[in-house]
Structure 1
Amino acid sequence: MEDLIIYEKIELHSPYLIMGFYGWPNAGEVATNTLTYLIKHLPADPYGEINPEEFYVLTTSEYARPQGVIEKGVLKNFDPPGTLLYCWKNKQGNDLILILGREPDIKWKKYADTILDFFSRFGLKKVFTIGGEYALIPHTRDPRISAVVNNEKLKEELSGLNVEFTDYSGPTSIHTYILLACRVRGIDCTGLWGDTPNYIQMSNPKVSYFMLERLTKLLEIDISLEEIKKEGERFEQQISRAIAQKPEAQEFLKKLEEIYDESEKSSGPDKREIEDLIKGVEDFLRQDGQGPTQN
């Protein structure tokens, strides 16, 4: 069985790839919400899939296992984890391939090669990876969008988009390997990350809205973001209402906002103090039943 299964042969025009993954690099479901919104609103059509047998370990956890549906003793559906591809033909520019799936457990090199080698046949121009990460930031402030690029000149393309450039050392995701694999091939690759508050470990549409604002400009596409903007506003109001019911949580949030605002003017926040505050807000939200919950 081929690693990449294409449903229908379509001639592509210098495509851009946009990739997002479930799992570790998807805090606040920023990556998957962003890709899902694009697929729905472009709209993009199913294009292909990647054979899951090569890239996933299905027994490491409940989350990793295939999902099944049984009704009255009859098997109705069996759905293994994997990667789906969608295509949007752009009449005025580069075609878009949207790749949405679970982060592969193994064989990152083969996974990246399978995708990049195939689309290089069509003159692949750019790759964007989308991710979410937990950060020391209050939900009442605009989320930060940060970037990692695989060559210096790409920083110029991000100027004016209010994107910060990442400093980081530590464990990495498939995003980092894709950046490297693209650089070896001479393909421009930009990784975009949205910061979501540590104390809200649930789907965060507000961050996805801010991500889509930047991404649509980079892709030079025009789609309405009003739906996800309103979702983000409702989400912020929901969290604020939960905190408002607890005076102590309000005090924690107020202090977090003060420290965060001050850190924006200086070299950085007092992380230990902020972590203590976040722990307090988490405890109050959990007691109130508003979160946080696991992705």
Structure 2
Amino acid sequence: MAQRLVHIVDEVPGLDDGQHTSLTLVLVLDGFLDAGSAAARAARHLVDQSGDGPVVATFDVDELHDYRARRPAMSFVRDHYESYDAPRLVVRLLRDTGSTPYLLLHGPEPDTRWEGFALAVREVVERFGVTRVVGLGAVPMAVPHTRPIAVTEHANNIELISGDSRWRGELRIPSSAQALLELRLGEWGHDAMGFVAHIPHYLAQLEYPRASAVLLEHVERAGRLTVDLSGLHAEAEEREAEITRYLAANEEVGEVVTALEQQYDAFTRAEESGSSLLAGDQPLPTGEEIGQQFEQFLAGLDRPNDWPDNPNDN
């Protein structure tokens, strides 16, 4: 018999009373589908806002995690190993600002046994009577941070989609455990949807709270929840100010961002007018140019103390 991948708490006060008619499960898997750590930061915000929240289901990480590919951190103190940050993949019971209960499944994306993981999540969904799964993710895109963050919405039930998709035709993309789960849940008759934020590719290695706030705004609407985003918005403003100061002091990097702005605006105008979406008359910087400039850009963000307080300072 296959080893059980999830252990679910037998009795959960607040969920087993039969009083909730709908229950949302928010899904965040760290790793492949999380540029700018947007989804992971959103999950941390939900946990912080709800006061941690009890764990109601735990997945067997030893069966799902590739430790050599993603080595957990340890602390070495003077002459001994003192602590180990064991990866955890759990489901927590949280409550929004109006005390509405919901579930959060968060932790590292499984490296193996995706089909088994999907079956384990199905157990959680059916055990607690989850009515809707809402997944969060983020991907790097050639877009400037000075424009609105676009979000791709997807679902296994077309009735869950709130707007028209910008994508046309079929795209062949690398799969993920999260995407497979949405597909399988649909086959089993469970509604699942998701939101993927488009992160400026030059910020993909940084924590980008602005995108986290946008994702949670979509969670509020899709999951019928209310979340206090004031702290996250303040954090996002601080990050934007840091980026603005750095770009003002580094003209070459700013020129690349300006090129992305021109391309973005041309694309938007073409889309609104119904003409070609390629906007071919606007040149994009080459991959080599972008790579060189943003390698320097990311290095600068890792050393915020090196940035001048005044862009005119040298």
Tell me the TM-score range normalised by the shorter chain.
Answer: 0.7 to 0.9
Residue deviations 1:242-263 (CA, integer Å, cap 9, x gap):
1111222222222221111111
1:22 aligns to 2:34 (yes or no): no
Checking the alignment, whether the CA contact within 8 Å between 2:24 and 2:132 is kept in structure 1 is yes
How big is the alpha-carbon RMSD for the aligned residues of Structure 1 and Structure 2?
2.6
Secondary structure of residue in 2 paired with 1:243 = helix
Q: Larger Rg: 1 or 2?
A: 2
Return the offset for 1:73. 3.4
1:177 aligns to 2:180 (yes or no): yes
Return the offset for 1:191. 1.5
- Identify the residue that residue 297 of structure 2 maps to in structure 1: 285
Checking the alignment, whether the CA contact within 8 Å between 2:26 and 2:103 is kept in structure 1 is yes
Which residue of 46, 49, 64 maps to 1:55?
Answer: 64
Mapping for residues 266-277 of structure 1, pairs under 5 Å: 266=270, 267-268=277-278, 273-276=284-287
1:35 aligns to 2:43 (yes or no): yes
The alpha-carbon distance between structure 1 residues 187 and 255, as it changes in their structure 2 partners (threshold 3 A), is: same
Q: Distance in 2 between matches of 1:92 and 1:254?
A: 42
Mapping for residues 90-109 of structure 1, pairs under 5 Å: 95-109=101-115
Checking the alignment, whether the CA contact within 8 Å between 1:148 and 1:166 is kept in structure 2 is no
- Identify the residue that residue 188 of structure 1 maps to in structure 2: 191
Mapping for residues 50-129 of structure 1, pairs under 5 Å: 50-60=59-69, 64-89=70-95, 95-129=101-135
Q: Distance in 1 between matches of 2:71 and 2:292?
A: 34
Checking the alignment, whether the CA contact within 8 Å between 2:97 and 2:226 is kept in structure 1 is no
Secondary structure of residue in 2 paired with 1:199 = helix
Return the offset for 1:227. 0.9
Structure 2: where are the runs of 5+ without partners?
Answer: 271-276, 304-314
Checking the alignment, whether the CA contact within 8 Å between 2:50 and 2:96 is kept in structure 1 is no
Counterpart code for 1:170: I
Tell me the matched-pair count.
283
Checking the alignment, whether the CA contact within 8 Å between 1:136 and 1:275 is kept in structure 2 is no
TM-score (norm 1): 0.86
Q: Distance in 2 between matches of 1:148 and 1:253?
A: 29
Counterpart code for 1:246: N
The alpha-carbon distance between structure 1 residues 217 and 42, as it changes in their structure 2 partners (threshold 3 A), is: farther
Counterpart code for 1:97: L
Q: Distance in 2 between matches of 1:21 and 1:208?
A: 14
Checking the alignment, whether the CA contact within 8 Å between 1:69 and 1:78 is kept in structure 2 is yes
**Identity value in percent:** 22
Q: Distance in 2 between matches of 1:89 and 1:229?
A: 20
The alpha-carbon distance between structure 1 residues 274 and 229, as it changes in their structure 2 partners (threshold 3 A), is: farther
The alpha-carbon distance between structure 1 residues 250 and 74, as it changes in their structure 2 partners (threshold 3 A), is: closer
Structure 1: where are the runs of 5+ without partners?
Answer: none
Residue deviations 1:96-131 (CA, integer Å, cap 9, x gap):
110111110010011111121233123221111110
Residue deviations 1:141-168 (CA, integer Å, cap 9, x gap):
111111111121111xx24xxx855553
The alpha-carbon distance between structure 1 residues 5 and 275, as it changes in their structure 2 partners (threshold 3 A), is: farther
Counterpart code for 1:24: F
- Identify the residue that residue 243 of structure 2 maps to in structure 1: 239
Counterpart code for 1:106: T
